[in-house]
Amino acid sequence: MPSDNIKERALNAIKEHPQVFEALAEYDRTRKLPKTVYRERINFTIDANLLKKFRRYAKEKALDMSRIVEKHIKEELGIKNK
């Protein structure tokens, strides 16, 4: 039945993305929509020459270095990229 499919898809969406539905519930309470994704600054040591090349590469291609690093961390952990 179509309504069963809709219900199943809705429950699946809630299970896969609970933070979105929590944000909507917060909006209902406060009329303010909170962030659903938070970013955190980190420090780590990397070879100076590699960093210089990476900065140049990102600038030439107009890419965000943080997003490139995030993408490769996700790949390393086996997490799907969106």
Give the pLDDT of residue 1: 56
Average confidence (pLDDT) per 10 residues, the chain, 82 residues: 79 86 87 79 95 97 95 92 66
Give the pLDDT of residue 80: 83
**Based on the domain organization, do 34 and 53 belong to the same domain?**
no
Give the pLDDT of residue 36: 66
**Based on the domain organization, do 1 and 32 belong to the same domain?**
yes
Distances (CA, A) of 46 to 52, 54, 63: 10, 11, 19
Distances (CA, A) of 45 to 48, 49, 56, 77: 9, 12, 18, 20
Tokens 């086996």 -> residue? 78
Give the pLDDT of residue 20: 82
**Based on the domain organization, do 82 and 48 belong to the same domain?**
yes
Q: Could you give the CA distance from residue 17 to residue 44 in angstroms, rounded to a whole number? A: 30
Give the pLDDT of residue 34: 78
**Based on the domain organization, do 29 and 50 belong to the same domain?**
no
Give the pLDDT of residue 39: 84
- Show the domain range for 80: 43-82
Q: What's the structural domain count of the chain?
A: 2
Give the pLDDT of residue 11: 87
**Based on the domain organization, do 21 and 53 belong to the same domain?**
no
